[in-house]
Structure 1
Amino acid sequence: MTRRTASVMTRLTFICHGATDAIRKARFPLDEALEEKATAAARALASRMPRADRVFTSPALRARQTADALGLDAGVVPALSDCDYGRWAGQPIAALHESEPDALSEWLTDTDAAPHGGESIRALRDRVEPWMRAQSAQGGQVIAVSHAPVIRVAALIALSAPLSSFWHIDVEPLSAIEMTSNGARWSLRFDRV
């Protein structure tokens, strides 16, 4: 006789931090603060936050400020940190097109590349995946305030999609994506309007 075990359900909502000067100026981010408009926009969304058993945020100032503006009491988790851009942090992307076109092209096409001396897309995925697995094992409702690259790799993990799809996902400031797990696999979840 086979014994069935009950599955643990997890609902994970990723929320992208609000807009910053780096986003507006197409620069690789530093640890900059939210724009005033982004703080106000996050406060306006606070009443729509789902209930959560656990709430987490990236250590970055922009993510912590977003969590605060959303009215979330979030624990800081390094696994939710933005991609480490190494020596490119703070640099305008347009300037790198001029000064390091081959290195920038390599980074945009090879998920194992880290010509900036920071983190590759694969390394980012390898950091986020164990955190997601741990959340799946615990079950419950989880909110995570993080960064567009982290949310992109989370979506790829949920879909078991190739890392080469990373650049085909757009994540806007203050956007949210939900996923659910039965303890064995993740699924993306879309709610009705």
Structure 2
Amino acid sequence: MTSRVLLVSPASSPALRQARFYDGFGPLDPSGAARARAAADSLPRADRAVRSPGARCHETAAELGLDSDELPELATLDAGHWRGRTLQEVGAAEPEALMRWLTDPESAPHDGESVQALCQRVGAWLESEGQEDGRTLAVVEPEVVRAAVVHALTLPPETFWRLDVPPLTVTELSGRSGRWNLRLGRPLADDTTPANSRRPGTGI
């Protein structure tokens, strides 16, 4: 039995462009929505479609023409009291806390969720998908893509921030529970969107 999990990152949004810790609200920007619509025909066939909670994954899935189920286990990293703030704002107000969070995967100075906890949560979902035959297409936040790759390849959690996930790209994992192969992210369609999801944070 072989499972395929295709992780699609959401289209661009103001929060993404502003390097803002995502709070689950806020729509896609018009250019992001247009690119998602244009990419709909390039989606591979899937046996089931799921998505992260939050407005931009919901809108991306809709623009891609997907009838998807929202799964709480695919929620983006909970940034606690940093939600809604930009990386620059947090760095100015809490520089030591921000540095600790970026360097220690078990740290959660924002009183939210640590990177380690996120990787474990997403990893548990991925292992459950590894018991299913066929193909799952998941529209998920960039942090969920990173966490899935860290788990699938048994990478050290410190590598989490070194994985770039541009908007509207596909990262494919294939295999079965306990053993996964990675096909590196590719754009759904020709896209000139800057790869500006390189900054850390929920939606950053």
TM-score by length of 1: 0.92
Separation in 2, partners of 1:172, 1:50 = 19
Separation in 2, partners of 1:190, 1:99 = 36
- Is the radius of gyration larger for structure 1 or structure 2? 1
Contact kept in structure 2, 1:15 and 1:143, CA below 8 Å: yes
Question: Structure 2 regions of 5+ residues with no counterpart?
Answer: 188-204
Greater percentage in helix: 1
Structure 2 counterpart of 1:58, one-letter code: S
Give identity over the alignment, percent. 39
Q: Given the alignment, which residue of 7, 13, 32 partners 1:20?
A: 13
When the two chains are superposed, the root-mean-square deviation of aligned CA atoms in Å is: 1.5
C-alpha displacement of 1:53? 0.6
Q: Structure 1, residues 68-92: CA drift from partner, whole Å, max 9, x if none? A: 0011110110111111011001111
Aligned length: 186
Q: Which runs of 4+ in 1 moved over 4 A?
A: 190-193
Q: Given the alignment, which residue of 85, 88, 91 partners 1:94?
A: 88
Contact kept in structure 2, 1:18 and 1:174, CA below 8 Å: yes
1:116-135 to 2 correspondences below 5 Å:
116-135=110-129
1:43-82 to 2 correspondences below 5 Å:
43-82=37-76
TM-score by length of 2: 0.88
Separation in 2, partners of 1:130, 1:184 = 11
Separation in 2, partners of 1:183, 1:121 = 22
1:20-39 to 2 correspondences below 5 Å:
20-30=13-23, 31-39=25-33
Q: Secondary structure at the match of 1:13?
A: strand
1:155 match: 149
Q: Given the alignment, which residue of 35, 60, 77 partners 1:41?
A: 35
Q: Secondary structure at the match of 1:97?
A: helix
